[in-house]
Amino acid sequence: MSSEETAVTSVGDDPREYAFTVWNYRQGEIVAAMVYLGRELGLYKALAGAGPLSAEHIATRTGLHKRWILEWLRLQAAAKLIDYRGDDRFELPDAAINLLVDDRNKSFVAGEFAGPEMAGTLDRLLKNFRTGLGNSYESAGPSGAHRGECRHWLAARNDLIPKMIPALDGVEDKLKAGALVADVGCGDGAAVLALAEAYPNSGIVGIDPSRHAIALVEKKAREMGLENVDLHHADGEDLPKDPTYDFLITLDCLHDMTRPAAVIAAIKRSLKPDGTWFIKDIRSKPKFEDNLRNPMLAMMYGFSLMSCMSSALSEPGGAGLGTLGFNPEVAERMAREAGFSQFQMHDFKDPGNLYYEVRH
């Protein structure tokens, strides 16, 4: 490593500074749990736009016990998530509304904070490290199908439909006229349902290896009255052997797959000669050293251990790419190895993801 890279990765020798770093992560763990509680109990909503409030005021609004609320408020103020206004009155800043209250806003993040399921995740990780095998999304049960649901819906309706589809050569015209589309690894179905709603002349096929995910999407499609949705519990490798689809999408899922190369080969054979394959995957770089500039890097590796890499190693011989493993170099190499000749990267100014338009 160069001297510059060594400086980037040095943790220093001061035991007090190192202890502060360790305890700061312990504090972060506790604050995260309290953010989860604040969302579940409606405490942030009770504070939103109300000006300075006491615990008693919030207790009246929520029906919760004021002494517990007061302790939570003090923690939130200590964590610099809410403002302290004196006399045990607290105020939620306007900057918090999009992040912690408005679940329709694309910046909303409170739903990402883990609740009681974290204990089960840690138990599974103990076994994963010993056996080398991870856990599929299906093994997470019905709750696993809901993970990130709010964020996915916002991305589908605010970005995929109005911004990304129009940027792909000829795709929007096909969808308006009537095309056959497949979402491989559709998960909670946000993209499937948004596409079906926006392009009623097109048939939208959702494919996922999780029975729980497929059941969730079926329920939502019925509730929305969508008749152009077709859902299949299957692996990506099970795509038709003949050219079938006009448009194929894989959104934030290739790095989760045990056999991504086989899935890409299946996509190649099932895509019509004039079809388009659209990929969304995590923004990352090939070298660990280059990724160190990402201030959220430790969190990304945490996601990988708990979810993405775990899924990608859930079968013997799994590829194990992990959250940051499908960088642009890997994406282009795997696409070209499968026989695709056209590969274009799109940067939609999404801080977390990159996008690729791929054709025969």
**Torsion angles phi and psi, residue 12, rounded to 5:** 85, 170
User: What span, in angstroms and rounded, lies between the C-alpha atoms of 158 and 107?
Assistant: 11
58 vs 47: CA distance, rounded Å: 7
The total of other beta-carbon atoms located within 10 Å of residue 179's CB is: 22
Give bridge partners of residue 359 from the DSSP assignment.
342
Q: What is the distance of C-alpha 309 from the center of its chain?
A: 14
Sign, CA torsion 334/336/341/346: positive
Show me where the domains of the chain are located: 12-102, 118-359
Just give the CATH number of 118-359: 3.40.50.150
Residue type present at position 163: K
Cα 111 to Cα 80, 82, 107, 148, 217: the distances in Å are 19, 18, 11, 7, 19
Distance CA(117)–CA(138), nearest Å, equals: 15
* Structure-block tokens of residue 78: 């200590």
Residue 156, phi then psi, degrees to nearest 5:
-65, -45
List, for residues 295-334, the tens digit of each pLDDT value: 888 888 888 988 999 999 999 999 999 999 999 999 999 9
Phi, psi dihedral angles at 155 (to 5 degrees): -65, -40
pLDDT tens, residue order, the chain (360 aa): 444 444 456 777 788 888 988 988 888 888 888 898 999 899 999 999 999 999 999 999 999 998 889 989 999 998 899 999 999 999 999 999 999 999 888 888 888 887 777 788 888 888 998 899 999 988 888 877 777 777 899 899 999 999 999 999 999 999 999 999 999 999 999 999 999 999 999 999 999 999 999 999 999 999 999 999 999 999 999 999 999 999 999 999 999 999 999 999 999 999 999 999 999 999 999 988 899 888 888 888 888 988 999 999 999 999 999 999 999 999 999 999 999 999 999 989 998 999 999 999
Q: Which of 279, 297, 280, 284 is nearest to 324 (CA)?
A: 284
The model carries a pTM of 0.83
- The structure tokens listed for 188 are 């909670």
Contact 184, 235 (CB under 8 A): no
Q: Domain spanning 12-102 has what CATH number?
A: 1.10.10.10
* Pairing of β 203-208 and β 229-233: parallel
Half-sphere exposure for 60 (CA within 13 Å, toward CB): 4
Rounded Cα distance, 236 and 218, in Å: 18
**Residues 6+ away with beta carbon under 8 Å from 270:** 182, 239, 240, 241, 242, 243, 244, 245, 248
Nearest CA to 90 among 62, 59, 39, 50? 50
